Amino acid sequence: MLEFFDEKAIGELKNKKQTAPSGFHYGFTENIFKEDVYQKLTNTFPDIKSFKLVDKMSGGGHKRFYVGPDYYSGKDWGCICHMKNLPEIWQKVLLESAAPEFIEMLSTATGIKFNSLCNFGFAYGNEGCVQEPHIDGAARPDDPSPVHSTIACLLYLNQKPDGFTGTCIYAPDRKTIIFQVPNLRNSMSFFKQHPSAWHGFPQVPKGESRRIISLSYSQEAAPIALKTFKEHNPLPYLGDRRILQCGSCGIVFLSPEISMKDSESYYREGDYWRDKLNDPLQREMLSRNARAMLSLITLHKKPDKSVKLLDIGSHEGTFVEEALKFGYQAQGIEPNKRIAAEARARGLPITEGAIESLAGEEKFDIITLFHVLEHLPDPQLALEKIKNHLKTDGILALEIPNIESYLAKRHGLSWKFIALEHLWYFSPLTLKHLLKEAGFEITFSLKRNGEIPYLSLGDIRQYFRPNPNYYKDRFKMKVSAPAAGLLKIRFKLLKRFLAAIIYILGRADHFFVIAKKIL
C-alpha cells in the first residue's frame, strides 16, 4: 500500500490514457497525492530562492524556468545523499516514487513498460517563464546522456486548479495543441518518450506561477533502489577502482564490476566455514565471542524466557545456543540450507532463510545482525524490514568491520576484511547515518574483535607493527579450507594478554553497536 500517492488516481490512468496521432501514449489524472499529503507537500516545497534559472535553447525550443534539487540516475546511480536537505516528507515521496510497487502500478496503468526511476527534479515558473515545444533528450538520437527515459511524468503542485499554463502536447507542426493539462492542482500528466512527443508550456502570465515535479522512468534491467548509501559520484578508494567511495556521503563499497554475480547461490550452497566447525578451537572461539556479545546485550535487555531474540545469519547456531543458555527465548535464520540443517540436527531453533523471508506480524525484543550487513545488496532496505519486526522498545545489535580501524588505515586494500563478499565498508559515521535513515538511533558502540586471541602471533603482531604487504590477494572468493587445528592453542595466555592491549589501544577491527527504534 502506498503512503503518499493515491492508488485510485493512478489506476484511473488506465481508462484516461490516450494515443497521439504519432502513436505514443499520453494521459492525465487528478488527485495524484492523498489530500492531507498534498497540503504538507505544498507547505514544504523547497525554497525557490535556491533554484537556478535555465534560459537556453534545447530540443528545438526555448526554455526559461527555474530548477531546484534534482536526482538523475545517470550521475547519481541511486544515491540521494545530495538531496538530504529536502524536508523529510519530500525525501519519503522521492523514495516511494522509486519503489517497485509504485513503478509496477504506474507501468500497468499507463501501458508503458519501465523498471527504474531515472529522474526526480523540482521546477518552478513565474511570470514570463515558458517552455516552447521541444523534444526531450531521451527521444533524440544525438543525446549523450548515459540513461534515457521511457516515460515522463509531471506532477503539478499549485494551490489553484487553473490550467491556462498547463503542459501542452503538440502535433509535429509544433503549433497544433493535441492536449493541454486542465488542472495544475494535485494532478499529473504523462507521455511516452517519442520522436514526435513535442511538449511545453505557454508563457506564465503576470501574477501567476507554477510548481512542478518532473519524474522520468527508464527501461533499466532492474529498479535502482534510491537510498542515501548508494554510489553517488563514485571515486576510486585509495587509487583503486575495485573499491569506490561516495563523494558525498563517504560510504565505501565494492565496485559492481567485480561483485559476485550469483551471491544468493553462494550463501545458500557455499561451504566456506563449514569444514571449520569440527575444529574444537574454532567452536571455542565462536562460543566465547557469542558470550561476550550477549554480556553487552544484557546491559540493555535483561535475559528472560519472555524476551524474544532473533539472530539473522545465525550460521551453525552458536550464538542462538548461548542466548538460550543466558535465558532468552532465542531463534535464528540462516540462508545456507546445509548449515541450517546441521544446526537443527543439534536441536537448535534455526530455520533456513534470509532477511527477505521475514514475514507476518511477529515482533521481537532483540534482533541481532553480526557480520551480515556488509554482505547485503541493500542494507537500508534490510534495516527497514528489521525495524518492522522489532517491538516498540526493541533493540538491534549488530557488528561489522570498521573501514576506519587502525589496520584498515595502514593495510589499505590488503586489509584482511577486504573481500568480494563484502559489498559495503562502513565507518562509525556512515553506519550512524545509515541507521538514522532506516529509523534507528545508536545507544551504545564499542570497538572489538573476538577472534584476535585465536589468531597466529604473526597476525597479532600486525596490530603493533603493521606491514601493508602482510595480507595479499584480498579480491578473491573465500573457499573451504582445512582448519589450522590445535596448533593455535599455543601461547593462549599471551595472545589474550596482547588482545587486551589491542582493545585498550582502540585498535580492534570491528565495531559493535546497539540501536533503538526512533519513534
Indicate the domain borders of the chain: 7-218, 234-517
- The pLDDT confidence band at residue 276, using thresholds 50, 70 and 90, is low
CA 169 remoteness from chain centre: 36
Q: Is the pLDDT of residue 460 over 90?
A: yes
Which CATH architecture best describes the domain 234-517? 3-Layer(aba) Sandwich (3.40)
* Helix (H/G/I), strand (E/B), else coil: 40: helix
C-alpha dihedral (504, 313, 225, 421), degrees to nearest 10? 70
Q: Are 390 and 367 in contact (CB under 8 A)?
A: yes
Cell numbers describing residue 133 = 515545444
> Which amino acid type is present at position 452?
I
408-445 pLDDT, tens digit per residue, is 999 999 999 998 889 899 999 889 988 987 889 999 99
132-158 pLDDT, tens digit per residue, is 999 998 777 777 676 778 999 999 999
pTM for this prediction? 0.63
Q: What is the pLDDT of residue 481?
A: 43
Handedness of CA 82, 84, 86, 92 (dihedral sign): positive
* Helix (H/G/I), strand (E/B), else coil: 131: strand
- DSSP E strands in 73-209: the ranges are 116-125, 130-134, 149-157, 168-170, 177-180, 185-192, 198-201
Q: Is the pLDDT of residue 76 over 90?
A: no
| Average pLDDT rounded to a whole number, residues 460-480 | 79
Q: What is the pLDDT of residue 234?
A: 72
- The pLDDT confidence band at residue 219, using thresholds 50, 70 and 90, is confident
Query: 23-32, 34-43, 242-251, 288-297: which has the minimum mean pLDDT?
Result: 242-251
366-395 pLDDT, tens digit per residue, is 999 999 999 988 888 899 899 999 999 999
Question: Given this chain, do its domains 7-218 and 234-517 carry the same CATH topology?
Answer: no
Which CATH architecture best describes the domain 7-218? Sandwich (2.60)
